[in-house]
Amino acid sequence: MRIYVPCDSSALSVGADAVARAIMAEISSRGLSDVTVIRNGSRGLFWLEPLVEVETARGRVAYGPVTPGVVVELFDAGMLEGKPHGLCLGLTEEIPYLKRQERLTFARCGITDPLSLSDYIAHGGYQGLKRARTMTPEAIVEETVQSGLRGRGGAGFPTGIKWRTVLKTPASQKYIVCNADEGDSGTYADRMIMEGDPFVLIEGMTIAGLAVGATQGYVYIRSEYPHGFRTMRRAVEIAREAGYLGPDFDIDIRLGAGAYICGEETSLLESLEGKRGQVRPRPPLPAVEGLFGKPTVVNNLISLATVPIIFDRGAQFYRDFGMGRSRGTLTIQLAGNLKYAGLVEKAFGLTLREAIYDFGGGTRTGRPFRAVQVGGPLGAYFPEALLDTPLDYEAFAEKKGLIGHGGVVVFDDTVDLAEQARFAMEFCAIESCGKCTPCRIGSTRGVEVIDRIVAGQDRARNLELLNDLCETLLDGSLCALGGLTPFPVQSAVHHFPEDFAKLKV
């Protein structure tokens, strides 16, 4: 008999450890010898965390949100048999929020014990690698191209095409680098996989290694994720002990040091090499001259963690999901002011409105919706009128927005978009790597100009100045930090001009 209590850091942040301890205490005080507590990842229904599940003959039954104080009562009510209680949510798989999803990349997350290799394998793990091992590198690359998988780190570049370049570049050493810097506010999918299903990333990186002829991988994890870092490091040790990593392909786990720019792939490579995280000019592409000057695949964690299911089920299976040129599923991360914020893995094409209302349940504060920022700090702010935009790379680009890593941050009517635009400029100034003048200096000027606009000084002229600054950033930036900061700024001005027109005290 098993009880599941998540060890995902969001679950921990609302007391999952205390709940686990209370449950263990209750098990021992009742002398139940056949009950095991498993610390699983999160199902991603965060408003229900800590979400406790028990295994029953009917399937797993969920209770949540559980507090330590209610544990005795739950045992008395017959939680171990999946009996009713005010906190009982029924069969986990039948919870509509989960049932309406298409969980491919997240097929196991929240179900298995993240650090149990046997659990991983029992739930379909390593099937993709098994098949990839029977294929030539060219065939692996071709399968990845055919799947339609595009990079989930932000730019949406076809993963197979990137791999093809690395495969075709001869070198004595090649690398697979997983970008787990996940700096965008509103995103946590990488973290959930590291904490909830780390072996899927290891498997994906191993397949990538086979595809391009790389024998060494690195996972670069942001330091804001201490739990993810530890789980990942432990998972690599376990995989190595079991012979899944070794001389043919091995992985080293590295820690970032609190720089948003190190999510940009060339800055990340500099950082891995032990340098300041400054962006490299390109060409050369990292695929040709990457880590330590060698051909390198740099992929987002979700891109790599999606590879195993593509090889397990086939490229066609994967590409059958989605719309237009956005194939497969998007791991939408609902965040901010929402009642039901959580992970929604769905085929591309869900509209923002469906994400925010059908899944997210509207604002948590109960106040009217006002704005949504999709794609992290460099993403545009959209008003109500754009909520019918489908989550699809091209549809978003058409509306001057971006999907980025799939974060959706919702704001109610208390938001001030001039403040948000100011923050975008401030953030650019704080995180600039310093290489380009517009990004390093222009961003601080941007903050000042917005302050003047808000203070009502020469409003028309300063709005024009702000626009000019944005154009300079667009044209004069080596990377998208400077180059895309105009997105949140200009979208705020364009869609919410009233916030720049009222005099503030």
Ligand X SMILES: Cc1cc2nc3c(=O)[nH]c(=O)nc-3n(C[C@H](O)[C@H](O)[C@H](O)COP(=O)(O)O)c2cc1C
What residues between 109 and 168 interact with other proteins by CB under 8 A?
A: 114-115
- Distance set, CA 504 to CA 36, 417, 418 (Å): 58, 13, 10
- Distance set, CA 427 to CA 118, 233, 412 (Å): 44, 31, 22
| Identified binder of ligand X from the candidate list 157, 293, 325, 448, rule CB under 6 A | 157
| Nearer residue to ligand SF4 within complex by CB, 187 or 432 | 432
- Residue 492's binding partner out of ligand X, other proteins, ligand SF4, none, with CB under 5 to 8 Å set by partner kind: none
| Nearer residue to ligand X within complex by CB, 98 or 259 | 259
Residues numbered 163 to 182 that lie near ligand SF4 (CB under 6 A) are none
- Does 429 help bind ligand SF4 (rule: CB under 6 A)? no
| Nearer residue to ligand SF4 within complex by CB, 286 or 308 | 286
In angstroms, give the least distance from the CB of 475 to ligand X.
16
CB count, 10 Å around CB of 398?
Answer: 10
For residue 400, the Cα-to-chain-centroid distance in whole angstroms is 22
- Residues 6 or more apart whose Cβ sits within 8 Å of residue 208: 163, 176, 214, 217, 297, 299, 304, 307
From the list 10-18, 98-106, 308-316, 472-480, the region that binds other proteins by CB under 8 A is: 10-18
Q: What is the 3-state secondary structure (H, E, C) of 390-428?
A: ECCHHHHHHCCCCCCCCEEEEEECCCCHHHHHHHHHHHH
From the list 127-135, 137-145, 390-398, 404-412, the region that binds other proteins by CB under 8 A is: 404-412
- Does 391 help bind other proteins (rule: CB under 8 A)? no
- Does 327 help bind other proteins (rule: CB under 8 A)? no
Which residue is associated with the tokens 């794609």? Answer: 375
- Does 188 help bind other proteins (rule: CB under 8 A)? yes
CA atoms of 191 and 195, how far apart (whole Å): 6
Q: Which 8-state DSSP code applies to residue 328?
A: S
Q: Are 253 and 221 in contact (CB under 8 A)?
A: yes
From the list 112-120, 167-175, 383-391, 475-483, the region that binds ligand X by CB under 6 A is: 475-483
Q: Are 393 and 403 in contact (CB under 8 A)?
A: yes
| Identified binder of ligand X from the candidate list 176, 436, 481, 493, rule CB under 6 A | 481
Count of residues interacting with ligand X (CB under 6 A): 22
CA atoms of 297 and 289, how far apart (whole Å): 10
- Residue 477's binding partner out of ligand SF4, other proteins, ligand X, none, with CB under 5 to 8 Å set by partner kind: ligand SF4
- Does 271 help bind ligand X (rule: CB under 6 A)? no
**Site track for other proteins across 233-272, x = CB under 8 A:** -x-----------------x-xxxxxxx----------xx
Helices and strands (DSSP H and E) totals, the chain: 23, 16
Which of 223, 163, 157, 219 is CA-nearest to residue 193?
Answer: 219
Residues numbered 285 to 314 that lie near ligand X (CB under 6 A) are 298-300, 303
Q: Is 171 left (phi over 0), alpha (psi -120 to 50) or beta?
A: beta
- Does 54 help bind other proteins (rule: CB under 8 A)? no
- Does 192 help bind ligand X (rule: CB under 6 A)? no
Which residue is associated with the tokens 């997350």? Answer: 109
- Does 436 help bind ligand SF4 (rule: CB under 6 A)? yes
- Does 263 help bind ligand X (rule: CB under 6 A)? yes
| Identified binder of ligand X from the candidate list 182, 197, 345, 354, rule CB under 6 A | 182
Residue 319's H or E segment, with its range, is helix 315-319
In angstroms, give the least distance from the CB of 218 to ligand X.
13
| Identified binder of ligand SF4 from the candidate list 62, 214, 279, 492, rule CB under 6 A | 279
- Residue 155's binding partner out of ligand X, ligand SF4, other proteins, none, with CB under 5 to 8 Å set by partner kind: ligand X
- Distance set, CA 365 to CA 150, 160, 361 (Å): 35, 43, 11
| Nearer residue to ligand X within complex by CB, 341 or 428 | 428
CA atoms of 318 and 329, how far apart (whole Å): 8
Per DSSP, the three-state class of 480 is helix
| Nearer residue to other proteins within complex by CB, 181 or 312 | 181
Rounded CA Rg of the chain: 23
From the list 121-129, 136-144, 396-404, 427-435, the region that binds ligand SF4 by CB under 6 A is: 427-435
Count of residues interacting with other proteins (CB under 8 A): 79
Phi, psi of 344 (to 5 degrees): -125, 105
The binding site for ligand SF4 (CB under 6 A) comprises 261, 279, 432-436, 439-440, 477-479, 481-482
The binding site for ligand X (CB under 6 A) comprises 151-155, 157, 159, 179, 181-183, 261, 263-265, 298-300, 303, 479-481
